[in-house]
Amino acid sequence: MMIWVNQIVQGILLGGYYAVIACGLSFMFSVMRMINLAHGSLAIVAAFALYVLADQYGFNPFSALILVLPAMAVLGWVLQRTILERSQRGGMLVPILSTFGLSIVLDNLLFEQFGADTRSLAPFIDELSYDSWTITDDLYIGKLAALTFVAAVVILGGLQLFLTRTQLGRSIRATAEDPDTVGLIGINAKRVNAAAAAIALVTVGIAGAFLGMRATFDAYAGGPQLIFAFEAAVIGGAGSLWGTLIGGIVLGVAQSLGAQISPQGFLITGHIVFLAVLFGRLHLDTIGTKFRKTVRRSA
Amino acid sequence: MSLLEIRNLDVRHGLLQAVRGVDLSVEKGETIALVGANGAGKTTLLRAIAGAHLPAGGNVRFGGTDITLVPSHSRVGLGIALVPEGRRLFSQMTVEENLILARSAGRKGPWTLDRVFEAFPNLVPRRKAKAGNLSGGEQQATAIGRALMTNPEILLLDEVSLGLSPLAVDRVYASLDTLIHGGTTIVLVEQDLRRAMRVADRIVCMLEGKIVLEGKRGEITREQVSEAYFGLGIAKGRLSA
Amino acid sequence: MSQDPTVRVERWTLQSRISILAAAIILAILATGPFFFGNNAIDKLTTLFIYVILAVTWNALAGYGGLVSVGQQAFFGLGAYAAVRLADAGLNVYVSLVLAAVIIAAVSLPISSFMLRLRGGEFAIGMWVVAELCHLLVNLDSLVQGETGTSLIALNAYDADTRHALNYWVALGSMTAILVILFVLLRSRIGSAIQAIRDNEEAAASLGVRVMGTKRIIYVFAAFGAALAGALWLSTAITFQPKTYFGVQWTAYMIFMVLVGGLGTFEGAILGALIFFLIETWFGGSGVWYLIGLGATALVFSLFVPRGIWGWLERRFGLGLLPLGYRILGVPSATRMQTPDDGGIGAAPSVGTP
């Protein structure tokens, strides 16, 4: 019995990581109405950047973030102004195609540079990578996992405050709602979108850091991370900030329980729960529409 | 020198030419009413002045500078504000947020949050309400307030009475009166000819993308405008302002 | 307009008649291939045929259906897997290949009713999730033994020369069948529906076009094509390792072929497959840089040449090799219908020459 409780707790904590990687994807979707298929690859780019800074220059991964996060912000800005903005003008299909092309380029550039070896940031954070608080014999809470979860809450809360309390945040919300009208009140929609992309990539950088610390990664690890981020975002309701935390937790718990059933169960259960949630939601929509129609007819 | 000078302006929507060779000058402090049937090109002309539609030909000068190719958000910074047709508020955001957003251009001037609430007292209790939940009149007041928050030198109003109850229209025009007498330069599109002729210093009538009649209030009659409106008065030529 | 005696609507232009005849002659010549070429050349051409199948069916999905999938490897892998299973059950290998594709097409039908509710990027990644799930589930099969994989041992029944020739003919036949099916589909009422949906889904729905049904036909057709390609690939590669077959690189290849050739054009997808085949022959050995080049080319084409090489040629020279569009003759130039020129894929030009 305790084993299952433990698995649920580990799943919730894992959900914190998924929330961190999903919030950037969800944020860009809600502001720019596009899904960035290079999202996972960009997290891996950040993880490798941290690895190089730690391995070659002796930085602690946390202090290396001071260099990597601004770099990610710049990358996001440049990406938006050069590729994403242009692709959005081409209709709905082009952003999917161009960001997928970008992910292939990034993945293989990383492979070219770093080869097939898996890396991890765990050796550079010493005991934080394995230390834990023991609650009972069967229940423990990893310090890194707890830190990741807290970071998720802080990032989501921070984003929420930023969006409601600052002028840039309000501009981002306004641009998300009606990009054609913001120009009429003096807001440069292109600049706002670039700022939003920069912010999204900062969260991607943080996700890359936590991924690197809690697990191993290689040049082609971006694809799975994109899928996890997407699953968490969709389960939580795409575009909703706190929804990504719930989505992350649902995904994390599903995977964690699945892993208890069988080694392959981790990924399989995650995907199945994702599809089930999607299926359920689509069906609820249909039922809802039918219900409304019946009500209207009888009214 | 006029505040706004439009020369030979052409604006297209794809293959459709909505504005054809329009010349128009707006003096500082003046109130102009643009009238004309649906599809005459009034809204397109306003949007072209605001920079929401870039023209295919001709030029627009504002305060002596050529702004023909300046994007809309920069024009707000120069002092041009448009209250768009259909109001186009950010419906998920509160009244206050809609107003505060308009500070983005960074123009200093008499219009602050407090002044707007003073001018539109009906908005005060709705301050924290989502713009999407307001009544039509309240939405229009918010839209005008939002434009004023940019402290414009010229205010462009597109069909401010559309979809409002007569009472709400009266209220909106009552607040516009203060603006007009306060010396704000205004170009407004108004379907109600009677109302247009009451508030405006000058009437400009458009037909099929062209200006077919313009004249000062008192110098042209309602009959003349009505004829021009339906394209009957073209033969009589233009009355110069 | 129909009363105007000077206006004529033409479908079979002289150009398109010649093209169809030429295509038939080329296919007939290709069919004699095994009598003249060595095994190496035969294998190369077999690969090309598989690429054409992949490009044409992915193009049907994305270019005609407006559905960009990054998970067609689901069907590619399942096709190969089903072929392994059928052959293992004692069915003739080559019958297994084709039957596998039919079975997977049937499997794709229930998947379609679910996935087609998703839009844009959601559909794209949703399909990837489906592919990952299929991969994991196939790994559970004891015959496959996880990532170790298995082989199509039954192929040993044929000697090498016969096997190469049979692979070639089955692939050539499959490619021809896929091309003919799509050609017939596009010329049928479904074809008009497909084009209406591609140009504007909501408008098409309001005109009474059965959007969902039409999309489902394209989806199942694309799944059939990918599954067939996967099964054929298995016949040339012999070994079945799930990782290779369910890899997302297949999507990368499909996107590359279709984007470079011409999204939403029948001829463009074939051209794209040919270009990809040549590039792979010349640069495939350069490993990672070859993949980087593919990704970068796809990126550049999506941004700057969204209609691909064929789309560009079509516009530049008024080409229309296949009788898929309608050519209106004798219309005074002032009233000639114009194609909106917005550079976007969302409003791609109609097939053939407007």
Under 8 Å between Cβ of B160 and B188: yes
> A234–C62: do the CB atoms touch at under 8 Å?
no
Residue B241 lies in a domain: no
Alpha carbon distance C138, C55 (integer Å): 25
Alpha carbon distance B120, C189 (integer Å): 59
Go through A102-123 and write b for each residue having 16 or more CB atoms within 10 A of its CB, e for each that does not.
bbbbbbbbbbeebeeeebbbbe
* Spatial CA neighbour of C59 closest among C272, C213, C244, C246: C272
Helix (H) or strand (E) holding B147: helix B136-148
**In terms of CA atoms, which chain A residue is nearest residue C147?**
A264
Which has more pLDDT, C286 or A74?
Answer: A74
Helix (H) or strand (E) holding B21: strand B16-26
CATH number of A2-298: 1.10.3470
Confidence of residue B80 (pLDDT cuts 50, 70, 90): very high
Token reading at C234:
């298995």
Alpha carbon distance A44, A209 (integer Å): 9
Provide mean pLDDT across the span C325-332: 47
Which residue matches tokens 């973030």?
Answer: A65
Q: What share of chain B is helix, strand, coil (3-state, %, to 5)?
A: 35, 25, 35
Q: Domain C32-309: state its class.
A: mainly alpha
CA A14 to the chain's CA centroid: 12
Go through B60-72 and write b for each residue having 16 or more CB atoms within 10 A of its CB, e for each that does not.
bbbbeeebbebeb
Task: Map out the domains of chain A as residue ranges.
Answer: 2-298
Alpha carbon distance B149, B154 (integer Å): 12
**pLDDT over 70 for what percent of chain A?**
94
Facing residue for B90 by CB, picked from A167, A178, A188: A178
* Spatial CA neighbour of C289 closest among A104, A44, A49: A104
Q: Which amino acid is at A86?
A: R
Which residue segment(s) compose the domain that B88 sits in? 4-236
* Spatial CA neighbour of C14 closest among C320, C329, C313: C320
Burial (0-12, 13-18, 19+ Cβ within 10 Å), C329: exposed
How many domains is chain B built from? 1
Q: Which amino acid is at B195?
A: R
Provide mean pLDDT across the span A262-273: 90
The reported pTM is 0.86
Mean pLDDT of chain B: 87
Q: How many CB atoms lie within 10 A of CB B34?
A: 27
Contacts of A267 in chain C (CB under 8 A): 132, 136
- Partner residues linked to B185 by β-bridges: B154
Alpha carbon distance A26, B120 (integer Å): 38
Provide mean pLDDT across the span B133-160: 91
DSSP structure string for C298-345? HHHHHHH-TTHHHHHHHHHH----STTS-EEES--GGG---------S
Note the pLDDT of residue A294.
66
Which residue of B46, B72, B156 to mutate against A (max A Cβ within 10 Å)? B72
Facing residue for B73 by CB, picked from A170, A178, A187: A187
- Partner residues linked to C335 by β-bridges: none
Token reading at C314:
């079509």
* Spatial CA neighbour of B156 closest among B40, B14, B30: B30
Alpha carbon distance A204, A78 (integer Å): 15
Confidence of residue A298 (pLDDT cuts 50, 70, 90): low
Residue-wise pLDDT for A53-86, tens only, equals: 999 998 999 999 999 999 999 999 999 999 999 9
Note the pLDDT of residue C349.
35
Residue-wise pLDDT for C232-257, tens only, equals: 999 988 888 888 899 888 998 999 99
Alpha carbon distance C137, C74 (integer Å): 11
Q: How large is the ipTM?
A: 0.87
Helix (H) or strand (E) holding A97: helix A93-114
What is the β-pairing status of strands C8-10 and C327-329?
A: antiparallel
Confidence of residue A131 (pLDDT cuts 50, 70, 90): confident
Provide mean pLDDT across the span A95-102: 92
Say whether pLDDT at B122 is over 80: yes
Facing residue for C306 by CB, picked from A90, A105, A224: A90
The torsion angles phi and psi of C188, rounded to 5 degrees, stand at: -80, -175
> A184–B91: do the CB atoms touch at under 8 Å?
no
Facing residue for A37 by CB, picked from C70, C259, C294: C70
Residue-wise pLDDT for C95-122, tens only, equals: 999 999 999 999 999 999 888 888 878 8
Alpha carbon distance B22, B28 (integer Å): 19
Confidence of residue C334 (pLDDT cuts 50, 70, 90): very low
Residue B115: C-alpha distances to residues B99, B110, B173, C313 (Å): 11, 8, 17, 61
Task: Map out the domains of chain C as residue ranges.
Answer: 32-309
Length of chain A as a residue count:
299
Alpha carbon distance C215, C171 (integer Å): 26
Which residue of C125, C139, C148, C251 to mutate against A (max A Cβ within 10 Å)? C125
Under 8 Å between Cβ of B93 and B131: yes
Note the pLDDT of residue A161.
92
> A37–C292: do the CB atoms touch at under 8 Å?
no
Token reading at B58:
């001709």
Say whether pLDDT at C305 is over 70: yes
Contacts of A170 in chain B (CB under 8 A): 93, 97, 100-101
Note the pLDDT of residue B137.
86
Mean pLDDT of chain C: 82
Alpha carbon distance A237, A29 (integer Å): 11
Alpha carbon distance B150, B215 (integer Å): 30
Say whether pLDDT at B104 is over 90: no
Residue A72 makes CB contacts below 8 A (sequence gap 6+) with A42, A46, A198, A201, A202, A204, A205
Task: Judge whether A104 is closer than 8 Å to chain C, CB to CB.
Answer: yes
> B88–A185: do the CB atoms touch at under 8 Å?
no
Residue C89: C-alpha distances to residues A109, C97, C98, C101 (Å): 43, 13, 15, 16
Contacts of C296 in chain A (CB under 8 A): 101, 105
Token reading at B211:
């200006």
- Partner residues linked to C6 by β-bridges: none
Q: How many CB atoms lie within 10 A of CB C200?
A: 13
| Longest distance between any two alpha carbons in chain C, whole Å | 70
CATH code for position B31:
3.40.50.300
Confidence of residue A16 (pLDDT cuts 50, 70, 90): very high
Contacts of A230 in chain C (CB under 8 A): 125, 129
Chain C: touching chains (3 or more CB pairs < 8 Å): A
Q: How many CB atoms lie within 10 A of CB C94?
A: 20
- C177 DSSP 8-state letter: H
